[in-house]
Amino acid sequence: MPGPVSDVNDNSFQAEVIESDLPVLVDFWAPWCGPCRRVSPIVEEIASEKADQLKVVKLNIDENQKTAQKFNVMSIPTLMLFKHGEVRKTVIGAYPKRKLEDELEPALA
């Protein structure tokens, strides 16, 4: 079952992420990235469970290099939590769900 995760790109990033009223978790990924595929279902679970307090989007870095470069994404998967248009937390790598939630929770509070 697909979760409430939508795709963003260089053109929609400003409106969907920076200007969002809700905090936004951005999953920077690429189709060739094995760890990205492992973290994707975890990100979708978090999106489903926190749909009322968090927006979750994915950005394909191969197709949207401008945004990836702007936020200095060097390794993927990179997850960035934006709140009021600013990066509040960055998590690099494929974390288990509990560890990822522990990393994100303080930034959501």
In angstroms, rounded to a whole number, what is the distance separating the alpha carbons of residues 27 and 29? 6
Distances (CA, A) of 70 to 60, 61, 87, 89: 14, 11, 12, 16
Q: Which residues are catalytic?
A: 33, 36
Phi, psi of 85 (to 5 degrees): 80, 0
Phi, psi of 31 (to 5 degrees): -60, -30
Cβ atoms of 39 and 46 closer than 8 Å: no
